[in-house]
Amino acid sequence: MPGALLRLGGAVVACALLAACGASFSAGPPMPYAQRKAVAERLEKAGKLVEARLHWRALETIYGSNGEVDHKLRALEAKIEKRAETKARAGEQAFARGQTQQAKRAFLAALALDPARSDAERRLRQIEGRWVLQSKQIRAMTMVRPARPAPPPKAAAAAPAARQPTTTATAKPAAKTKTAATPAEETPPRPAETDTSPARDKALQVALSAYKAGEYRASIREAKKHLTIYPDDGAARRLLAESHSKVGMVLYDGDKLEESLPHLEAAVALGGDAVRTADAARDARSRLAERYYEQGMRIRRQDLDQAIRHWETSLDYVPQHLKARLQLNRAYKIRESLKSLKQE
């Protein structure tokens, strides 16, 4: 899908322009100066800087340049440039942490403000290239190899012919010779180590098909089933790690931190994209710890026991959270003092 993100960026810019040009630039007599000025100021106050700039440019085109229009256009250009720079910087920070979804949104926002930003365009191309590379890696590591034909059964070694006695009347049947079996023959190898049958490949393909369809939870479920039978399958482990990472990052980007954390940490444990998922997992733990600490602080005067539970949860996520530790120690002492007073 080369250029998909850039086409999306162009669509964002086009939508912004069309929205601004809807009713205000419809056919008919031009809008009076004061009315269009009021619309531009209202849009600027609402933070819609690009749309406000369009209205000031319309005033410049229709009524000619004047001091007020020139001043407003310069001020808006400076604000738009500053906001675009802020969005691009946020995109760079997200890109450095491996948070590609957040980075993509930030760079698209920067392009919507300033379509000439080559840095945002370049980063979007890199994000697109990274997705293509990851897709190729997943396909390569889960590619079905043709099953090796089973080796032909070894012919039993011919036993030396027994020397027949001269008289057949008293001849006894020759005793069957039994060769000692080697350990490899007595104990067949584990299926996970040598099984290259079509059944094994088909089981992995079920998980891979779910992954390609974007059904990452189903991919996790099927990959786990596959690994219970073939625990040493490296391709299945990598697919499971990538599926956990996909689910975890979607939840993480949606601020569902408690749901995302098990998936992110599972991806790291399975040896997935450690840089991206480990950073997101650490950030999720840090934010959850701070979130529970703040919740405890808000209700500590109304419900001390609930506040204690919040601070304990905060320390479960980040044991080194000093503020939660301090408040929890104080709360324990206060609770013990209250118990003593009740007993008296």
CATH code of 311's domain: 1.25.40
Asked if 43 and 128 sit in the same domain, the reply is: yes
| Closest to 248 (Cα-Cα) out of 237, 261, 235 | 261
Q: Is residue 213 part of a domain?
A: yes
- Among 272, 290, 311, residue at a domain's last position: 272
> The domain that contains 222 carries what CATH number?
1.25.40.10
Residue 116's contacts (CB-CB under 8 Å, 6 or more residues apart) are none
CB atoms within 10 A of CB 160: 7
Q: Are residues 211 and 328 in the same domain?
A: no
Is 240 domain-assigned?
Answer: yes
The tally of domains found in the chain comes to 3
Residues 105 and 5: beta-carbon distance below 8 Å = no
Residue 125 belongs to some domain of the structure: yes
The answer to whether residues 334 and 248 belong to one domain is: no
Tell me the pTM. Answer: 0.44
How do residues 81-133 score in pLDDT, each as one tens digit? 888 899 888 988 888 777 777 888 888 888 888 887 888 888 888 877 655 55
Q: Domain check: are 15 and 68 in the same one?
A: yes
Task: Compute the distance between CA of residue 325 and CA of residue 341 in angstroms, rounded to an integer.
Answer: 25
The verdict on 244 and 282 lying in the same domain is no
Do residues 248 and 280 lie in contact, with contact meaning Cβ atoms separated by under 8 Å?
Answer: yes
Containing structural domain, residue 232:
199-272
Largest alpha-carbon pair distance within the chain? 134
Look at residue 175 and tell me if it is in a domain. no
| Mean pLDDT, all residues of the chain | 75
pLDDT of residue 48: 85
Q: Are residues 29 and 96 in the same domain?
A: yes
**97 and 208 fall within a common domain:** no
**pLDDT tens track for 144-170:** 444 455 555 555 444 444 444 444 444
| Same domain (yes/no): 316, 240 | no
In contact, 129 and 145? CB cutoff 8 Å: no
Same domain, 260 and 316: no
Q: Among the three residues 126, 141, 156, which one is the final residue of a domain in this structure?
A: 141
The domain boundary residue, chosen from 272, 299, 331? 272
User: Is 190 a member of any domain?
Assistant: no
Contact 101/253 with Cβ under 8 angstroms?
Answer: yes
Query: What are 299-326's pLDDT values in tens digits?
Result: 988 998 999 999 999 999 999 899 999 9
